Amino acid sequence: MFSTTCQYAIRAILYLALNTDDNHKIGADVLSEELEMPKHFLAKILQQLTKSGFVSSSKGRNGGFYLSDKDKASNLLEIIYVIDGPSRFENCILGLKECSGKTPCPYHSDVQTFRRDFKSKLQNETIFESAKRIAENNLTLNINH
Amino acid sequence: MFSTTCQYAIRAILYLALNTDDNHKIGADVLSEELEMPKHFLAKILQQLTKSGFVSSSKGRNGGFYLSDKDKASNLLEIIYVIDGPSRFENCILGLKECSGKTPCPYHSDVQTFRRDFKSKLQNETIFESAKRIAENNLTLNINH
DNA sequence: TTTTAATAAGACTTAAATATCTTTTTATCT
DNA sequence: AGATAAAAAGATATTTAAGTCTTATTAAAA
C-alpha cells in the first residue's frame, strides 16, 4: 500500500508528535535508532517534510527535528501525498488504466469501499489526535517501545 | 497491494477463464495484445503458473495457454501466493516487524478487517465463479474489451 | 573565536522489480 | 522430412526504489 519511504515518514511523524514540541527536539541520529530506520535515509525524508512544511527543524548544536503545534494540526493524508502522491489510493488494484464505477475491474467495489473509509480516517484525524489515540490505546510505532 | 507481475497474472488468469478451455487455447502473443502487457514478460508469468499447475499449455503449432476445468476450480488466492507470497496480506501497513492484535500499529485494525474480507473473497470464489461474475456484471480486465 | 554537533544538499551505490532478447524444445501442418 | 509456430528456458538489460557517503551550512557551547 505505502512505499517504504512513506512508511518511515508516517512512523517518524507520529513519533515526533508523541515526543517533541517547540522545546523538545530530537536528532535524526537518535530517531533512526528508536525507530530502527537507516539514518541517512530517514534524514532525507525528514528534510523533505521540513521543506514541505510538515516538520520543523533547527540546525547547529542542540538542533533537531520536532513538530510545532501548527505541524500537529496537519493530517497524515497530506504527508502521504507529499511522499507517495495520491496514486496509492487511486490506482486500480489490478493495474487497469481505466477502472471506475462505470468500468470497474472485478475487485473495484471491494477495494473502493475500504480506500474511501481509510482515506477519510487519515484525512479527518489530525496528527495531534492520532498521537493522542496512540498514547491512550498503547499502540506501537516500533516493537521495542 | 499486488506486484505488477501479480496484477498481470490475475488479469491473464481471468481472461483465460473467460476465453479458453481444453479445445480453445490462446497464444501468449495474442494474449499480451488483448491485455496490453509486455509479451515476453507475460509469457514468463504464464510459464511459472503452468509449472505450478494453475494454467495448462501445449507446445508446438496450434499450441497455447488455456484453463482446463480443473484449473478453473482453483482460486485466485492460491495464484497470488505463488507469485507474491502471503506477505502482501500479512505485512504491517507501516512496515513493523511485529504488528498484531496484541501489539497493533495505529492502523492495524482498519487494515486487518479489510484484508480478512478481501482474502476470503479471493479464496472462496473459484476462478470459474469469478469468470461467471465478470461476464454477468460486465466487469473489465482491460479498457478496450 | 574555535570547536562541536546538528541539519541540508547532493552525489553515488546497491538491490529488486520489471522488461527484453536469444536460444532451445516440441508439436503440428504441408 | 522439412518448415513452421508455439511454449520453455535462460541470459541480459533497464528502471525504480532504497540506502549510503561526502561535503556544505548553521548555530550553540566551550
Mean pLDDT of chain B, nearest integer: 96
How far apart CA A123 and CA A118 sit, in angstroms, is: 9
Quick check: helix, strand or coil at residue A101?
coil
Identify the closest residue of chain B to A106 by CA–CA distance: B139
Q: Which residue places its CA closest to the C1' of nucleotide D4?
A: B61
Per the CB < 8 A criterion, the answer to whether A66 and A20 are in contact is yes
Is A144 inside any structural domain?
no
Is A141 inside any structural domain?
no
Residue range A17-26: mean pLDDT, rounded? 98
Is B142 inside any structural domain?
no
Task: Please give the nucleotide, over all strands, whose C1' is closest to the CA of residue B58.
Answer: D7
- Cα dihedral sign, A118-A119-A125-A128: positive
Per the CB < 8 A criterion, the answer to whether A112 and A87 are in contact is no
Is A91 inside any structural domain?
yes
**Minimal CA–CA distance to B71: which of B113, B25, B108?**
B25
Question: Is the C-beta of residue A2 closer than 7 Å to nucleic acid chain D?
Answer: no
Task: Please give the nucleotide, over all strands, whose C1' is closest to the CA of residue B32.
Answer: C19
CB contact under 8 A, B106 and A2: no
- Tell me the pLDDT tens digit for each residue of A42-52: 999 999 999 99
How confident is the model at residue B144, as a pLDDT? Answer: 54
- Neighbouring CB atoms inside 10 A of B29's CB total 13
Identify the closest residue of chain B to A8 by CA–CA distance: B94
Q: How far is B24 from chain A (nearest CA, A)?
A: 23
Q: What angle do CA A72, A73, A79 make, to 5 degrees?
A: 75
Is B98 inside any structural domain?
yes
Q: How far is B61 from chain A (nearest CA, A)?
A: 32
pLDDT at A20 over 90: yes
Full-model pTM: 0.95
CATH value at residue B103: 1.10.10.10
How confident is the model at residue A72, as a pLDDT? Answer: 98
Is A107 inside any structural domain?
yes
Domain count along chain B: 1
pLDDT at A67 over 90: yes
- Tell me the pLDDT tens digit for each residue of B10-32: 999 999 999 999 999 999 999 99
Which positions of strand D lie within 7 Å of protein CB atoms?
3-11, 17-22, 25-29
Distance of CA A88 to the CA centre of its chain: 13
CB of A51 less than 8 A from some CB of B? no
CB of B83 less than 8 A from some CB of A? no
Residue range A117-121: mean pLDDT, rounded? 97
Q: Which residue places its CA closest to the C1' of nucleotide C19?
A: B41
Chain A residues in contact with B121 by the CB 8 A cut-off are 110
Residue range B60-68: mean pLDDT, rounded? 97
pLDDT at B135 over 70: yes
Q: How confident is the model at residue A144 (pLDDT cuts 50, 70, 90)?
A: low
Is B143 inside any structural domain?
no
pLDDT at B47 over 90: yes
Question: Is the C-beta of residue A62 closer than 7 Å to nucleic acid chain D?
Answer: yes
Range of the structural domain that residue B110 is part of = 4-136
Dmax over Cα atoms in chain B, in whole Å? 57
pLDDT at A76 over 60: yes
Is B95 inside any structural domain?
yes
How far apart CA B99 and CA A143 sit, in angstroms, is: 8
CB contact under 8 A, B140 and A107: no
Dmax over Cα atoms in chain A, in whole Å? 57
Residue range A61-66: mean pLDDT, rounded? 97
Size of interface A-B (CB pairs under 8 A): 88
